[in-house]
């Protein structure tokens, strides 16, 4: 009986170790990324917003 319990505990520990190993590898894995400069995003610039809507930018 004790052997069965010990075997079960060992199996759980092994499973946790294997899952943990793969999670750590996943966390560290690298890839290739394209860098998109902020000005190339879809967000309108303040100049474009001023031309389109006449938004009051505040007196200076």
Partner 1 sequence: MSRVIRAAELIGRPVITLDTATGIGEVRDVLFDPLRSRVVGFTLRGRGLLASPLLGILPIEWVQSIGRDAVMVASDTSLVRDRDGMQAVVGQQEEVVGKEVVNEGGASLGTVSDLVLEVDGPSARVVGYEINRPDRRQLIVPVSGRVPVSGNALVLPSDAEHGAATGLTAFRESLERRGEVPRSEIRA
Binding site for partner 1 (CB under 8 A): 21, 24-25, 27-38, 40-41
- Least Cβ distance, residue 10 to partner 1 (angstroms): 22
Assigned token pair, 29: 């894995």
- Least Cβ distance, residue 40 to partner 1 (angstroms): 8
- Least Cβ distance, residue 43 to partner 1 (angstroms): 11
For partner 1, the closer CB: 38 or 54: 38
Q: Confirm if 57 and 46 have CB atoms less than 8 A apart.
A: yes
Assigned token pair, 1: 């009986």
In the block, tokens 């917003």 appear at 49
């Amino acid at each position: 009986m004790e052997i069965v319990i010990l075997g079960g505990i060992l199996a759980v520990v092994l499973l946790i170790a294997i899952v943990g190993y793969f999670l750590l590898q996943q966390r560290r894995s690298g890839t290739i990324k394209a860098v998109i400069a902020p000005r190339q995003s879809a967000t309108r610039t303040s100049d474009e917003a001023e031309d389109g809507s006449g938004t009051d930018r505040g007196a200076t």
